[in-house]
Homo-oligomer: A and B are copies of this chain.
Amino acid sequence: MKALPHHYEVSLNWKDDRYGTLTAVSRPAIEGGPPPEFDGRKADWSPEHLLLASVDLCLMTTFMVLSKKKELKIKRYESRISGTLDRTSEGLTFTRILQEVDIEVAAGDVEKTRKLIEAAKKYCLIGNSLKPEIRLDARVRP
């Protein structure tokens, strides 16, 4: 890890209507706009999808770092994150975020893996930056 603090930057160039292109040095551009639920195009990434992607990717990268430290061999890791957006007294917000993770490891590593994925959730800096509570449903199997 590089010395702290770290600095991250993303640029957004508006194209037309409610659509624009997101760029971050040396990464492929992402076409963004509102989701279909807000009458946007299905081919564009929405703020809602990008937020969920960020949370789910953070859990995985954090988990993989912890697994490497503990010399745990991961056979398979797949996850799905879902978010529910609803109106509350605070306005429109995510009222529920659920991460469902499927992990395959050796039979002797199941318990250790369960602890590590819980630890990864605790240390995930993106999840910790969000106000809505995030539920983790982890299935670990040999």
Contact = CB atoms under 8 A, between A and B. Distances in A.
A111 interface: no
A85 B58 CA distance: 14
Interface residues of A, number: 81
Contacts of A94: 125, 129
Contact of A12 (B24, B32, B79, B82): B79
Contacts of A83: 7-9
Main secondary structure of the interface of A (DSSP, over half): mixed
Interface string A33-60: 1111111101111111111111111101
A90 interface: yes
A37 B2 contact: yes
A94 B128 CA distance: 10
Contacts of A54: 47-48, 50-51, 54
19 contacts: A1-B38, A4-B86, A5-B85, A6-B85, A7-B85, A8-B37, A8-B52, A12-B53, A12-B81, A14-B76, A18-B64, A30-B45, A30-B53, A46-B57, A47-B55, A50-B57, A85-B125, A93-B128, A130-B131
Shortest 9 CB-CB contacts between residues of A and residues of B: A47-B58, A50-B54, A14-B77, A5-B86, A6-B37, A51-B54, A6-B85, A18-B64, A32-B57
